[in-house]
Structures are given as structure tokens and as C-alpha cells.
Amino acid sequence: MAEVTHSTSTPVVELVGVNKHFGELHVLRDIDLTVSKGEVLVVVGPSGSGKSTMCRAINRLEPIDSGTIRVDGVPLPEEGRPLARLRSDVGMVFQSFNLFAHRSVLDNVTLGPVKVRKVKKAEAKDEAMELLSRVGVQDQADKLPAQLSGGQQQRVAIARALAMHPKVMLFDEPTSALDPEMVGEVLDVMVSLARDGMTMVVVTHEMGFARKAGDRVVFMADGQLVEQATPDEFFTHPQSTRAQDFLSKILSH
């Protein structure tokens, strides 16, 4: 996973001096962050620290006030067709699965490639079936999302994002809305993606995942990146008081 070329290759995602406010609230403060090709970056931090906003900014679902965000070396376009293309380079999986409720599982996976990437329907269907079997839900292709369990729906959401051939996948607390017995099946899919070399930014407090698949952990608090380390270093020897305090809370449960 960790490539020797990390330091010399173009970062897949690059944030330089990124700031964002919601009214009075300074939600992202001078964020500098790079994610290298094939890297799995785990983002942790207390609720309200700006993790979701940062993910949404990378996909330009949230505009920023200042600074630069580049994906594969290209600054985020303002709008229109270049923005749609950029969005397809950045796959996003949210806490709530966000599937199209009135379309079949198969349609959910083929719609993006057919509409945005102009892939032929038959071809999109073949690839969708491959992706659905990769995430283990090929038998559910003709069902509606509501007929699936939460874990299955989240795996469909991952397949749907992969169908766009993204350069990076963003996961925003992908398992936190799931019943406990379904967390493992989603994390397993994410671990296998990581092993296949996918570049990933993962907001999660699942320490097992971080240790198994993460190359680096960044700790975010009050809109700032406070500290970063390898998963092992971070979870065993957090440096800042904020991180120590945060870990003592999540570990005491």
C-alpha cells in the first residue's frame, strides 16, 4: 500500500490553506493536507470538528472561502461540465446511503456511468454486476434499496461510487448508521479496496479498520488538523491533549 514514490508523485488530493466559515463559525481553519496515490488516510475527531465539511469541500459540495483544493493536480472547477467530471473523479460514500429509493440496485449503479460517463447501457450493466459481486450483493440487483439491509445498501453505495472509476474515494462515517452486526461486512469491503490500491479518505472511529488498512491518521478538532501519525502511533501515543482526551472518551466505551 505505501508506495516508495509517495513524495515525488502528484498528490491525488491536495488542500492548501483552506478556510471555510458558516456565518460566524470558522469551520475549516488553514487546512493543509495531501493524500498520495494509493494512500489510505483516516480522519478522526470529535463531532462538529469539521470532518464532514472537509470531505464535502473536496467534492465541492461545499464551496470554500479561501485556499486551494486540487484533485489529481487540477484545481476544483467552479461549476458546469468540468465540475461534473471532477465529481465523478471523487467517489463519495455517506453515513446515510443516499441511494435512489425508487430505482433498482442495478439502476443505482448504472445511472452515473450512463448519464455522466456516457457508457453504453449493456456495458454499464456488465460492469455493475461485476461491482455488485465484488461487494457481495449480486443477488440483490433487481431489488429496491429498501428491500436490502443497511449493510447491503451501504455496499451498493460503494459499488455505485466505484462504477464512476474515481481517483479517490471519500467515506464519511460509512458504518455509523449501521446495526453493529453489519459494520464488519462494510469494513471488509473497504479493507479489500485499500488492499487493491484505492486512494481513500475515511472519516471513521473504527480503530480496527484504521490499524488494518490505514497508512496515516489525522486528528481534527475545531476545524484544524491538530496532529497526524501512523495509526499505531496515534492510537497508542497521541501527542496533543485534545487527541488524548478524545481517545480516552471513545476507548472507554
Ligand X SMILES: Nc1ncnc2c1ncn2[C@@H]1O[C@H](COP(=O)(O)OP(=O)(O)O)[C@@H](O)[C@H]1O
d(CA 137, CA 149): 11
Number of residues forming the site for ligand X (CB under 6 A): 11
Asked if 152 interacts with Mg ion (CB under 5 A), we say no
Binds ligand X (CB under 6 A): choice among 12, 15, 27, 119? 27
Q: How far is the CB of 49 from ligand X (least distance, A)?
A: 4
Asked if residue 53 binds Mg ion (CB under 5 A), the reply is: no
Residue 175 binds to Mg ion (criterion: CB under 5 A): no
Output the smallest distance, CB 223 to ligand X, in A.
7
Residue 48 touches which of Mg ion, ligand X, none (CB < 5 to 8 A by kind)?
Answer: ligand X
For position 110 contacting Mg ion by CB under 5 A, the verdict is no
Q: Which stretch binds ligand X (CB under 6 A): 22-30, 105-113, 147-155, 227-235?
A: 22-30
What are 146-150's contacts with CB under 8 Å, separation 24+?
146/101, 148/105, 149/179, 149/182, 150/97, 150/177, 150/178, 150/179, 150/182
Rule CB under 6 A: say whether 47 interacts with ligand X: yes
Q: How many residues bind Mg ion (CB under 5 A)?
A: 2
Q: Does 226 bind ligand X (CB under 6 A)?
A: no
Stretch that binds Mg ion, among 33-41, 49-57, 177-185, 222-230 (CB under 5 A): 49-57
- CA-CA-CA-CA torsion for 47, 52, 54, 55, nearest 10 degrees? 150
CB contact at 8 A, 49 and 24: no
**C-alpha pair distances (Å), 83 with each of 86, 107, 139, 167:** 5, 23, 34, 15
Stretch that binds Mg ion, among 31-39, 45-53, 99-107, 237-245 (CB under 5 A): 45-53
Site for ligand X in 167-196 (CB under 6 A): none
The residues facing 69 across adjacent strands are: 15
Contact, 204 vs 231, CB < 8 A?
Answer: no
Report the SS3 class of residue 199.
Answer: coil
Among 52, 88, 140, 199, binds Mg ion (CB under 5 A): 52
Nine cell digits for residue 53: 465539511
139-155 in b/e form (b: 16+ CB < 10 A) is ebbeebbeebebbbbbb
Give least dist CB 204 to ligand X, A: 11
27 is in the binding site of which of Mg ion, ligand X, none (Cβ under 5 to 8 A by kind)?
ligand X
Listed residue (158, 157, 164, 161) closest to 114, CA to CA: 164
Could you tell me the smallest distance in angstroms from the CB atom of residue 86 to ligand X? 20
The residue written with cell numbers 470558522 in the block is: 26
Q: Is the dihedral of CA 23, 27, 31, 36 positive or negative?
A: negative
51 vs 216, which CB is nearer to Mg ion?
51
Query: Applying CB under 5 A, which residues contact Mg ion?
Result: 51-52
Query: Applying CB under 6 A, which residues contact ligand X?
Result: 22, 25, 27, 45, 47-53
